[in-house]
Chains A and B, each alone.
Chain A
């Protein structure tokens, strides 16, 4: 398993501002993922963050809007830039564990963001 923490757990922000979400893992992992879950919807992958390289963004997500840092194998940040009410979501980071014949992902507790 993996223990993952996120900061902040929740925040209320004003339109036009930016928020940086931190994700800390208790062990070294190669791949970290950032997800967004908008109200009433399923999880959507924003980007994959590998240490030492640029994050890979999914369709519909761009680096200018969601810059990601991955300075080492246990830490990552996601910034939500120039926020609008449509960015109100729960943001989750996750890590993957590869096992013999089976893989799984472990999620952080999430950051609940409300943009006014």
Chain B
């Protein structure tokens, strides 16, 4: 089932700028994950943040988690054309099933 929300639904920025995507959820979580899906390809797992973590970095990616607000954000710094993709957050519920957000379509303009 889909119980997460993401905003914005679509984001178009210039290459080199930073892109921020937000995700909210409704239940308690074990962890929250961000995925990327390039057109015509499968999902790629980007980063996982545990419920007891507040911030996590991976290369140009920075993820924050605020469990009091039930929200997370994904920041991509110094964006590149190759970052053009759809980004999804997903949290794992107590039944170990992933609950997905609607996704943000990111377009990086050269």
Say if the beta carbon of A21 comes within 8 Å of chain B. no
Q: Which one of B2, B40, B45 lies within 8 Å of A44 (CB-CB)?
A: B2
With CB as the reference atom, state the residue of chain A lying closest to B49: A102
Q: Once bound together, how far apart are the Cα atoms of A78 and B92, in whole Å?
A: 23
With both chains docked as a complex, state the minimum distance between the C-beta of B65 and any C-beta of chain A, in angstroms: 13
Q: Which one of A41, A102, A109, A110 lies within 8 Å of B48 (CB-CB)?
A: A102
Contacting residues, chain A, for B2 (C-beta < 8 A): 42, 44
Q: How many chain-A residues does the 8 Å CB contact rule pick out?
A: 25
On whether the beta carbons of A96 and B96 are closer than 8 Å, the reply is: yes
On whether the beta carbons of B97 and A102 are closer than 8 Å, the reply is: no
With CB as the reference atom, state the residue of chain A lying closest to B102: A42
Contacting residues, chain A, for B25 (C-beta < 8 A): none
Interface set, chain B 36-59, CB cutoff 8 A to A: 40-43, 45, 48, 50
On whether the beta carbons of A43 and B100 are closer than 8 Å, the reply is: yes
Contacting residues, chain B, for A103 (C-beta < 8 A): 30-31, 92, 96
